[in-house]
Amino acid sequence: MNNAAVHLSHTPVRRILIIKLRHHGDMLLTTPVINTLHQHYPAAEIDVLLYQETRDMLAAHPAVTTIFAIDRQWKKLGTRKHLQKEAGLIRAIRGRHYDLVVNLADQWRSALITRLSGAPVRVGFDFPKRRHPLWRACHTLLASTEGHNRLHTVEQNLSILTPLGLRPPEARVTMSYTADDHAAVTALLAATQVSAPYIVVQPTSRWFFKCWSEEKMAETLRALLADGHRIVLTSGPDAKEQQMIARIQALCPQPGLVSLAGQLTLRQLAALIDHARLFIGVDSVPMHMAAALGTPCLALFGPSKLTFWRPWQVNGRVIWAGDYGPLPDPDAIDTRTDERYLNLIPTDAVITAARELLS
């Protein structure tokens, strides 16, 4: 056992910091690491450093004590004020006196924060692109990334705990929200005269190449509405997503379809999905939330890396466009394209799968 791991085995672990500086879905998929550390060190306070806009993903997690956030708008404040913000963050982190830092991120910024934390045990990944003496000096333990190209993101994240000998890992992804979040959703549903059971459909993503066409989604919704189901449409606040929702609504004149698009926080969306009979969506954060919450889920996938990003431990079905025709290499896609790669998926396949999950 490495000297750093020996140190942890002989010293009480009082405070742990986890660092991950990525997008919303990435933050949700770090929860198995949080849950595993809480399982092995139940008395320890677990803090997280993340980007400010992703705070909602972990803000209600019962095992998280403090969230430190980097605001990417700091860089617009000018060099002096930006450096003051960064220095204040470092002081706050050092003031927590961590026993263990787990750096899941691959940025140099995260490595330097890890080193400056002052923690005696600092674990990071041995990324091939970071084979540099400074990266190694920032960490006391490095976890291998060998085989990561064959592993789901959850499994990749959990592998960082291997040098610490924490077995077995708690591999369950968890999405948490508060009673206030649920109450807010209940009030919105009452205002739109929707009651359970209902289906939640999130047809949008910030990247439209991950979306099905409005026409195909509307055809599917019309079939489910004709079956007597109530459907709640959701989306992010972005104007393009809102326009997509409006087009789908225009193609579905039947009663029973309402929209809460752009009206919910991520935690409120979790509460809505948690009480749904079925979730239908594309490769986006709400799909991962539905899988984490155990809500029956029908996920439509296109040219994303299915091995990395399929819904983890999903209760439901994944329909992959690649089963119906050729897809481009995920690494070669122009993310600004208007191409709808999911249109290879026939509506009949989705309607049939939805009816099976609802039966």
Same domain, 284 and 192: yes
* pLDDT recorded at residue 5: 59
Q: Quickly list H helices, 117-152.
A: 133-138
Same domain, 82 and 207: no
* pLDDT recorded at residue 3: 61
Low-confidence stretches of the chain (pLDDT < 50) are none
What pTM was estimated for this model as a whole? Answer: 0.94
Q: Dump strand ranges (E) for 104-262.
A: 121-125, 141-143, 199-202, 231-233, 257-259
Q: At 212, which amino acid appears? A: W
Same domain, 108 and 51: yes
Q: Which of 164, 199, 230 is the last residue of a domain?
A: 164
Residue 305 domain boundaries: 179-358
> Residue 39 maps to which CATH number?
3.40.50.2000
Query: Which tokens sit at 253?
Result: 């004149």
Q: Which of 164, 188, 211 is the last residue of a domain?
A: 164
Same domain, 146 and 183: no
* pLDDT recorded at residue 226: 97
Question: Does the residue 304 lie in any domain?
Answer: yes
List, for residues 7-55, the tens digit of each pLDDT value.
666 678 999 999 999 999 999 999 999 999 999 999 999 999 999 999 9
Contact 99, 14 (CB under 8 A): yes
Same domain, 105 and 153: yes
Same domain, 277 and 189: yes
Number of domain units in the chain: 2
Same domain, 104 and 222: no
| Whole-number Cα distances in Å, 82 to 70, 72, 75, 303 | 11, 10, 6, 38
* pLDDT recorded at residue 10: 66
List, for residues 135-157, the tens digit of each pLDDT value.
999 999 999 999 999 999 999 99
* pLDDT recorded at residue 338: 87
Same domain, 19 and 69: yes
Q: Which of 111, 141, 164 is the last residue of a domain?
A: 164
Same domain, 224 and 340: yes
